[in-house]
Amino acid sequence: MTLPVRPDLAGLHPYGAPQLSVAARLNVNENPYSPPQGVVDAIAAAVHKAAEGLNRYPDRDFVALRADLAHYLAIESHVGFLQVENMWAANGSNEVMLHLHQAFGGPGRKVLSFAPTYSMYPEYARDTITDYVTLPRRDDFTLDTDAAVAAIAEIQPVMVIVASPNNPTGTALPLSDVEALCHAADQVPGGCLVVIDEAYAEFRRRGVPSALQLLPEHENLAVSRTMSKAFALAGGRLGYLAAAPAVVDALQIVRLPYHLSAVTQATARAALAHHRDLQAQVDEIRAERDDTVRWLQEQGYTVAETDANFALFGPFEDREKVFEGLLERGVLIRVTGPEGWLRVSIGTPQEMALFRSALLEVTA
């Protein structure tokens, strides 16, 4: 049978990392700790209550959830100015990003980002027939702000997307860089939105600020977050965004009706009510990350400076061989980033001990 698939999609494969049953699954930056039993019980009770009304559509505008998200950010990032009108949510931050591309991208429009970065960014652009343009980061994976500002003036994109901490490098973006991008975006005729993807923000080191602090000063700034990582809720699929009300209004136009199920809303609200319990291990993950970075450096590897729950390290003459050797020993990591580099998610102390011993064996 011949199908009229879009020519630009012909022969492509869907995005996705391996989902294998191994002793240490350290490839997709998941939180290695299961939710505490008390939180599981609270989520189960909330879902049970939601199930009683599943014959009805959920709250289309999920107002209570948006209020809870604003309250959480007021606690986590000390930004008490956010209201329901500033908040948006979807099925993972991937869908939030897709909504942004649907609302602001499209044929003849450009999105600018800085490589290496999250490998889904070009796919959002492809799916919305938006041109995707990248500039290289510096050798240490920081942003060349002067080059970025010049590129915004030349390319005149409708959106600039920067992950902070960046994936796969873990590099955080200083607020001065965010401000420079926003000021440059102000000069783009027709407007330009600066999107800071803070999926790993809760893992940043003490004193590293969030771009959320700049929202009152820049109406062309949006900050995306997720509950998948620090909340140990990857299976719950809840991502969200904080921005000016006009940005949220635009996203409401393109979202599918009732896109957040009653079960998803109930799960997310119950998790938010127990965020301290869910995030109790964040400090442990940070400490394990720092120990892992030090150990890799002691073995002679270059490790990208990271504020996330993963580390990018290398170089390897044959990274695929190292990846396969680790997998044979029950350790699954990720082949990503520049040629010769590998990324390892931070797991439990036991998982990281297995990673270290396996890496020593493979590279002996």
CA distance 319 to 341: 7
Percent of the chain whose predicted confidence (pLDDT) is above 70: 100
For residues 44-69, give the mean pLDDT.
98
Kindly report the average pLDDT of the chain as a whole number: 97
Q: What is the pLDDT of residues 127-156, one digit of tens each?
A: 999 999 999 999 999 999 999 999 999 999
Confidence of residue 22 (pLDDT cuts 50, 70, 90): very high
pLDDT exceeds cutoff 90 at 72? yes
Query: So what's the pLDDT on residue 1?
Result: 83
The CATH T-level fold of domain 17-33+281-363 is Aspartate Aminotransferase, domain 1 (3.90.1150)
CATH of span 38-275:
3.40.640.10
pLDDT exceeds cutoff 90 at 80? yes
Q: Which residue would you say has higher pLDDT here, 240 or 19?
A: 240
Token pair of 313, please? 């390290």
Q: What is the pLDDT of residues 290-330, one digit of tens each?
A: 999 999 999 999 999 999 999 999 999 999 999 999 999 99
Confidence of residue 16 (pLDDT cuts 50, 70, 90): confident
Confidence of residue 56 (pLDDT cuts 50, 70, 90): very high
Query: So what's the pLDDT on residue 171?
Result: 97
Q: What is the pLDDT of residues 227-266, one digit of tens each?
A: 999 999 999 999 999 999 999 999 999 999 999 999 999 9
For residues 269-279, give the mean pLDDT.
96
Residues of CATH 3.90.1150.10 domain(s) within the chain?
17-33+281-363
For residues 100-116, give the mean pLDDT.
98
Burial label for 169, CB within 10 Å (0-12, 13-18, 19+), is buried
Query: So what's the pLDDT on residue 17?
Result: 84
Residues of CATH 3.40.640.10 domain(s) within the chain?
38-275
